[in-house]
Amino acid sequence: MKNTNYNAQTVIAIPTYNERENLEWITAEILAQAPGIHILIVDDNSPDGTGELADALAANHPQLHVLHRAGKEGLGPAYLAAFAWADNHGYSWVGEFDADGSHQPRDLPRLLALAHGSGRPDLVIGSRWRRGGATSGWSLSRQALSWAGSVYVNVVLGLGVADTTAGFRVYRVDFLSRLLQRYVIESKGYGFQIEMTWRTRRAGGKIVEVPITFVERRAGTSKMSGSIIKEAFLEVAKWRIRELCQRA
Query: Do β-strands 169-172 and 93-96 pair in parallel, antiparallel, or remain unpaired?
Result: antiparallel
Length of the chain (residues): 248
Q: Indicate the domain borders of the chain.
A: 4-247
| Average pLDDT of span 30-56 | 97
Q: Are 75 and 15 in contact (CB under 8 A)?
A: yes
According to CATH, the topology of domain 4-247 is Spore Coat Polysaccharide Biosynthesis Protein SpsA; Chain A (3.90.550)
- As a whole number, mean pLDDT of residues 66-81 equals 96
End-to-end CA distance of the chain: 50
- Helix ranges (DSSP H) in 42-117: 50-60, 75-88, 108-115
- Give the pLDDT score at 1: 42
pTM of the model: 0.90
List, in order, residues 6 or more apart from 138 with CB less than 8 Å away. Answer: 146, 214, 216
d(C-alpha 193, C-alpha 191), whole Å: 6
* Average pLDDT of span 31-59: 98
Least confident of 37-41, 51-55, 163-167, 176-180: 163-167
User: What is residue 236's three-state secondary structure?
Assistant: helix
pLDDT at 213: 93
Name the 3-class secondary structure at 243.
Answer: helix
Asked if residue 221 has pLDDT above 80, the reply is: no
